[in-house]
Amino acid sequence: MDVASTIYALAVAVYKLSVGIVNFVGQHQEKGPLITNISDIANQIQSIISPLLLPNHVTYDSVKQVLQALQKALARTDKHLRAWEERPSLRFVAFVNPSAVTSQLREDREQLVHQCLLLLVAMQVGDHMRQYRLLLPTAEDDTSTLPEYSEVALSRRASSSSSKIHDPKSQSVLKPTLPLLIWIDDDPEGNVRNAAYASKRGVTVVRLGSTLATKTWIRVNKDYLKKNDDPRNLRFISDQVRHEVNAEGVLHKNLKAGNEITKFIRDEGFKAPILICTSKQGIALTGYVRSYPNTGSLKGSDYKILNEYLEALGARRRDDTGWMKFGG
């Protein structure tokens, strides 16, 4: 079975398992906040994998790897939920020692959240970076030693020696051609025209869909990016508001996504230009750009300033400053 067919089969299996968990929880009246939260995560999983429920739609090994781990985590959670509810001996244990149930299900929940975050990274990097993919570490099967699932921990694990950015054909470590634009936006379709404009001017455009995926990619490629940390070689564009999954596995509207990625880039020591492109409503949230050098914000509809920013990168210039202010 080829990679695409395997991913489709895994996605179907994951979907059925998540639906089964939601239905099982819904059929039982006695359920605390922990079990309800597990059901909510299972619901989120159904949304996350929806793009994978199309045959031959995704062919990235990283997605297959995470789906396999997620399938195991869901199956284990489903088994534990049903066992505590249906087996008389375990129901007695649960009555005598409720913390035993809580401890096991909490581990299941944390493993599910961890796998959700890994899957989001694998899907976003694979989908929005085209010729790039992120090879993620294999998740542990032993839930007694759960890996961390915070953004920092995930990024650290992804940047370990076992995780590299590879070219699917050559399997050699990629160094994107300069000049390089890193574009962070959860709606890449809305930026197709602008990305094409940059590409026509000789700019390599790396497109990432979330704060987490961006942090991971930057950390993996930090040495190369630091060597080329110059306005003539490297620039960033980010939206201000993104729909992202938090540490609890809940999809939410992150109104500070632009702030967070700007702070991260500067804290990592990068001096390259950062331009926040947002909506008319979101521009008021970008006053923080005044606190950072080589940083500005504008409304996405202000094509003149945006194009000048892209043209300067394509021409390998560093003397453009018209964009370097709040609100364009």
| Per-position DSSP letters for 195-242, written without gaps between them | HHHHHHTT-EEEEE-SHHHHHHHHHHTHHHHHHT-STTTEEEEE-S-E
Residue 227 sits in which domain range? 180-314
What pLDDT score was predicted for residue 85? 65
Same domain, 220 and 118: no
Of 73-82, 176-185, 212-221, 285-294, highest mean pLDDT: 285-294
In this structure, is residue 322 part of a structural domain? no
Same domain, 18 and 141: yes
Same domain, 137 and 273: no
Please report where in the chains the tokens 């960033």 appear, as a residue. Answer: 236
Tokens of residue 178, six digits: 């300069």
In this structure, is residue 326 part of a structural domain? no
| Domain end residue (candidates: 106, 131, 166) | 166
In this structure, is residue 319 part of a structural domain? no
In this structure, is residue 254 part of a structural domain? yes
The mean per-residue pLDDT over the stretch 85-95 comes to: 51
Write down the mean pLDDT value for the chain. 75
Residue 287 has pLDDT above 60, yes or no: yes
pLDDT in tens, 202-245: 888 877 777 876 887 788 788 889 999 999 999 999 999 988 76
What pLDDT score was predicted for residue 5? 85
pLDDT in tens, 141-183: 322 222 222 333 333 333 332 233 222 222 223 467 889 999 9
What pLDDT score was predicted for residue 247? 57
Which of 290, 323, 326 is closest to 306 using CA atoms? 323
Same domain, 194 and 235: yes
| Domain end residue (candidates: 131, 166, 201) | 166
In this structure, is residue 320 part of a structural domain? no
Which of 63, 183, 177 is closest to 129 using CA atoms? 183
What pLDDT score was predicted for residue 268? 96
What pLDDT score was predicted for residue 131? 31
Same domain, 89 and 123: yes
Longest CA pairwise span in the chain (Å): 74
Residue 261 has pLDDT above 50, yes or no: yes
In this structure, is residue 323 part of a structural domain? no
Which of 89, 121, 288, 107 is closest to 214 using CA atoms? 121
The CATH number linked to 293 is: 3.40.50.2300
Are the C-beta atoms of residues 116 and 41 closer than 8 Å to each other? yes
The mean per-residue pLDDT over the stretch 117-146 comes to: 43
Which range is least confidently modeled, 30-44, 50-64, 199-213, 228-242? 50-64
Same domain, 114 and 195: no
Strand 251-254 relative to strand 165-166: parallel, antiparallel, unpaired? unpaired
pLDDT in tens, 106-115: 888 888 888 8
Same domain, 308 and 189: yes
Same domain, 89 and 184: no
| Domain end residue (candidates: 136, 166, 196) | 166
Instruction: Say how far apart CA 117 and CA 136 lie, in whole Å.
Output: 11
Same domain, 151 and 204: no
Same domain, 95 and 125: yes
pLDDT band at 53 (very low <50, low <70, confident <90, very high): confident
Same domain, 188 and 264: yes
Same domain, 15 and 134: yes
What pLDDT score was predicted for residue 13? 92
In this structure, is residue 92 part of a structural domain? yes
Burial group, residue 176, by CB count within 10 angstroms (0-12, 13-18, 19+): buried
In this structure, is residue 127 part of a structural domain? yes
Which range is least confidently modeled, 10-14, 186-190, 313-317? 186-190
Strand 133-134 relative to strand 165-166: parallel, antiparallel, unpaired? antiparallel
> For the chain, how many structural domains are there in total?
2
Burial group, residue 168, by CB count within 10 angstroms (0-12, 13-18, 19+): middle
